Each structure stands twice: as structure tokens, then as C-alpha cells.
Structure 1
Amino acid sequence: MSNLRPTLPTAPSFRPHPLRNLPRRVSPALVLASALLLAACGSAKHDTDNPDWAQSGMPPPPKTTQSDAEWQESAAPPPPAFDQNSLVPIEMPPYMTLKFGIDPKTITITPDGIVRYVVVASSKAGGTVNAFYDGVRCKTGEMKSYARYSGNAWELAKAPEWKRITDLNSRYTWAIATQGLCRDSAPRSTASEIVQYIRNPVREVQ
């Protein structure tokens, strides 16, 4: 008779399977479904229906369409003369050392959706005066500076380009666009309406 005792089976211990022990073969259908999901996420649009920039604090992301790809800016006329005594002040934060204003007579709205204007910057204490001949395209939230006035003369910008307002350190352009120039993704109807909103800017909803 054998003296060997039967050995009781021990309970298997639980160990998380390392990644290397996962099956190497994956269902082709699962791969295809994952790829389609990632593609859908990557191509998701972030367009929003924003009734007014000032309500959300951010301009709506641009909506790219076929017409945008074919869009060409109309030729900008030379910088218009401005009257420093007729400026409509732009509401700016109190910490700003400069004050800004727009000459209403320089505001133009083009058929291709650009608002061009002259904005004047001057020290609150008086003295040096600088002016900028700028354009804003409300549909894309972009601006372009065509010329700068300094030393009693205009200096045209060399190869000016459209740039996102949010990418620029230009607080006054942001203020002008949100306070009066743009409604939704389009310019206001008339120059007089723009002036009205600049005089009485829309406050953010608290």
C-alpha cells in the first residue's frame, strides 16, 4: 500500500492579465468600428449658434464652407482722414493707460462682409496720438491692420494678413468687435447701428 496522501487542489489566485497575454488577433469588424469612431470624433465640428459675442465672451469658431474657400477680399481703399474731436470712445478696462475711439465717418461695411474703420489711441494724460486703419471679418473672427498713423502721416502695412482676434494681443480690437461691430457671425446692418452699439455696448449676462 502506498503511503502517498492525495493532495487537495489549491484555489487559484487572481492575477490581472498583463497586456502581453491579451489575444493578438482582433476582430476586423472591431478594428473598423474603432477607426470610424475616431474619424467621427476628429472631424466633429465645434460650430455654435452664438447670438452675440458679448454674451459668451468668445467669438464663435469659424464655419468653413465652399464659399469661404472661394472668398476673396475686396480691395481696401486708402486710409480715410479722421477727426480726433469726433471720436466715439471704446469702453476699455480701467487699468488701460491708453484710451481708444472710432471716428464714425470712417466706418464702412463692404458687400463681402468686412467692417473697416479708423481707431485712434491716445494717452489719458494727452500727448502722442496713434491711429490704425483696421478691418474686421465677423464671420471668421479675424482682423487685418492696413495702415498705422504716427507722426502726422499714414504708413501702409507691408503685406497685411488676416489674423484671429483671439490670437492677438489687441484688447481694443476685441472690445470694438464685441461691443459694436458684429452680431452673430455678420456685421451690423449699418454704420449708424455700429455706432449706437459702441455708445451703449452689450454687457455680458451674469
Structure 2
Amino acid sequence: MHKILLLTCLLAGLVQAAEYETHTPDNIEAGEGDGLMGFFKNKAPVIPAEQEIQYPDLATLKQWAPVKFAQEIKNNNYYLSLDSLSLGPDRIVRYVIAVTPKAGGPKNILFEGIDCKTNQYRTYAWGNPNKNEWQKSTQVKWKPLSKNQYNAWQGSLSDNFCQMGDPWPVETIRKDFTVDKQAGDCLGCRAK
């Protein structure tokens, strides 16, 4: 029994160490790298097939809930628009998030999507609430979810949006953000 526990701990340590390799998310491609994660990623990540995207009307977004996640330097506050949440037939959770600097300054609004199946996200557009318009992204690039980077809210949101590769229903996600959460709380662990 001790040998199995020791082997499990050793493997977990190796995987954790491989995640801290000196790569940035933009230059990591599956199969690249000489670390342990490169060994396990032997083919390019799947690009999710998407439906036609409906951009939310910025003027109608009224329900904002704080997003809390672990980060070393907390220069910003993050708010999820609960009335922007959608889940299409493509099983991608789409949402609007606002990033507001604690020191003041302009609020950044982003329209993004998370694919629970492939553990990836992408930014569709940046919002200008004063003009009620979206500046659409010119790059259709899916990126791996991460929790250990500066401003990595997408990785944290995936904990709330996804369950074992599938998205939670939108109403369940909305409800989760309206409940006062405690440390270590998880959506699937709550009493019904």
C-alpha cells in the first residue's frame, strides 16, 4: 500500500513540475517541449467546432457577480455577467467578463468561450460599453486553460462551468455565482 502511495505522489510531483516548465501559453503546442507534458501531448489540440456566435447586447447586461480566484498580485476585480451566460449546441459556454483595476481606470469587458471537452478558451471580442459595441478578435485562437498565470480567470471559471469534460447547465452556473461560497466549496459537492 505504501509503495502505491509513494508511486502516486512521485507521478503527481513529476506532472506538477512539468507544468512549471519555462514555456508561455502562446508558444506551447501539444507535442512540443522536451518535458513530461510534451511526452503526453503527442498530437495537436483539437479545435472545437463552433456554432454561429451571437454577441450579447452590452446595454442589457445588468447581473454581475464577482469572480474570485487565487492570484499572487491582486490588482484587478473580476465580474461575470450572469445574463450573458449561454450554452449552445456546440457545448461551449460563452460569457462576458469585466476586469476592473482596483486603482481606477477603464474597465475591460471581454466576450469569451470555454470548451470543457478540450480544456481550452478563446476571446471573441472586447466590449466598449460607451458605444455599446464589440471589437471582434481577428485571431481565432483557442488557448489551453491555466490557473497558475497572472489574470488566469478562465481556468478558475472552468471549475464553475465544467464537470468532467461536460458543461454544467447555464441555470446551475448562474445559481452557483449567486450563492455565498466558502473556501473549498465545489458545485458538485453541494447538498441539493
Does structure 1 residue 124 correspond to structure 2 residue 102? yes
The 1-side partners of 2:69 and 2:103 are apart by: 16
Closer, same or farther: CA 159–195 of 1 in aligned 2, 3 Å:
same
Closer, same or farther: CA 202–136 of 1 in aligned 2, 3 Å:
farther
The 2-side partners of 1:174 and 1:201 are apart by: 18
| Matched positions, count | 140
SS at match of 2:94: strand
Cα RMSD after superposing both structures:
3.3
- Provide TM-score, normalisation by structure 1: 0.57
Map 1:7-26; keep pairs closer than 5 Å: none
The 1-side partners of 2:108 and 2:120 are apart by: 22
- Partner residue, 1:174: 155
Map 1:79-118; keep pairs closer than 5 Å: 79-81=56-58, 86-93=63-70, 95-118=73-96
Which residue among 106, 110, 135 is the counterpart of 1:155? 135
Structure 2 residue ranges without an equivalent (≥5): 1-39, 187-192
Does structure 1 residue 192 correspond to structure 2 residue 171? yes
Question: Is the 2:61–2:84 contact (alpha carbons within 8 Å) kept by the matching residues of 1?
Answer: no
What's the CA shift string for 1:36-55, capped at 9, x where partnerless?
xxxxxxxxxxxxxxxxxxxx
SS at match of 1:74: coil
* RCO higher in structure (CA 8 A, sep ≥6): 1
Does structure 1 residue 73 correspond to structure 2 residue 56? no
For the pair shown, the structure with the greater C-alpha radius of gyration is 1
State percent identity of aligned pairs. 20
Structure 1 residue ranges without an equivalent (≥5): 1-60
